[in-house]
Amino acid sequence: DTGRVFLLDDVSSTNTYLLDRVGQLNSGDCCLAERQTQGRGRRGRQWVSPYAGSLYLSMYWRLEHGVAQSAGMSLAVGVLLVEALESLGIVGVGLKWPNDLYVGQNKLAGILVEMRGQFGEPADMVLGCGMNVSLGAQAAADIDRAWTDLASLCGDDVDRNQLASAVIAHLRAGLRQFEEEGLQGFLSRWQKYDLFWNRDVNIHLGERVISGRAAGIDEQGALLLESSEGLKSYNSGEVSLRPV
């Protein structure tokens, strides 16, 4: 289980740091930073990360079979993060499709997968994870939604070095499995942590809202929804999931 870890105090974004260096990286190399000045979430949203004391981590992975092989990779990362926490005795964290970690109604961590590559060539994947460890009072004003941190879940005794090393070890081993089996090997594990399994939800498709019952995910990582339109799957690029 080897690989490099680039440990930085300040960076624009750990994802950007690796994306700028893809030609020099090996699968499993990572970047960790104390703070990010331009941490980002999906769809151009912001990831609030000006405080030291959290986990901002990105890992590089090369997929030999290209972009097509990456379907569901971010969902596999979600499973691996929850399992890394469990290995440290931290339980009670679940998954909100497609790739957020929640404790109850509160967001604990988010995952941002970005890639570089041409069709027909190997793909350079960067898997970014932001996890709130101990955010402090200032964060309440900065984050525009219900959030939580590990300190609230299990007290102030979370060792960030242990956390980072568990996350890195689980990602390195798990992504090797993902490379061989795809999302298949993660489906039942994802379902185990699915916070919305068999619950009534709304999904937002642009201006449209569809109500139904969440029925897990398919082999591509798409959301399955049982609604008046029957059982249909929805891709993460097009919809947002909301509790009823």
Told to judge if 242 belongs to the known catalytic residues of this protein, a careful annotator would answer yes
Residues 110-129 interacting with ligand ATP (rule: CB under 6 A): 110
Q: Cβ(57)–Cβ(77) under 8 Å? A: no
Residue 107 in the binding site for ligand ATP (CB under 6 A): yes
**Residue 57 near residue 156 (C-beta atoms within 8 A):** no
Distances (CA, A) of 195 to 74, 94, 106, 117, 118: 17, 6, 12, 33, 35
User: Which of these, 223, 170, 220, lies nearest to 195 by C-alpha position?
Assistant: 223
Q: Looking at 21, 62, 107, 176, which residue is catalytic?
A: 107
Task: Tell me which residues in 10-29 interact with ligand ATP (CB under 6 A).
Answer: none
Residues near 208 by beta carbon (within 8 Å), at least 6 away in sequence:
none
Contact positions toward ligand BTN, by CB under 6 A? Answer: 13-15, 36, 39-42, 45, 47, 56, 58, 100, 110-112, 128-130
Residue owning tokens 């870890």 = 5
Span of 10-18, 27-35, 139-147, 195-203 interacting with ligand ATP by CB under 6 A: 139-147
Active site residue 35: no
Chain residues that interact with ligand ATP, rule: CB under 6 A:
41-43, 45-48, 100, 107, 110, 132, 143-145, 147, 240
By annotation, the residues acting in catalysis are 42, 107, 242
